Amino acid sequence: MKPTNVVSMDFNSPEAMEEFIEMYERDAPSLYPQAELLVLVKTEETSLLAIAAYPTEDDRLKASETAQERIKGQFAPLFSESFRLLGDMVVHHTPNSKVARP
């Protein structure tokens, strides 16, 4: 099992969400180098789910601290609400490993 964060994020506008997506796509790999999986899923015009899996609980906790600092800091004006769920990934299928952003 992999320690995993699932974060629901509601943004103040579609533009605010797009700003976050652009930052995440650009910066997330270097901000969370220990992550084994980083995914954003658009659920509504102003809502995303972020999923991140880590090799160890210590890696997950370190990444969670970084994310919380950014969400409560420089990105706070973009969000209307966010909440975090913690768990363990129990199934991970990747039949086609080449998945690109549409």
Domain spans of the chain, in order of start: 2-89
Report CA torsion sign: 60, 79, 21, 73: negative
Residue 98, classed as helix, strand or coil, is coil
Residue 3, classed as helix, strand or coil, is strand
User: For the domain 2-89, what is the CATH code?
Assistant: 3.30.70.100
**Is it the case that residue 67 has pLDDT exceeding 90?**
no
State the pTM of this model. Answer: 0.85
pLDDT for position 8:
95
Asked if 7 contacts 49 with a C-beta cutoff of 8 angstroms, the reply is yes
CA-nearest of 60, 56, 54, 62 to 35 is 54
CA angle (45 as vertex; 5, 42 as ends), nearest 5: 35
- Per-residue pLDDT reduced to its tens digit, 14-51: 999 999 999 999 999 999 999 999 999 999 999 999 99
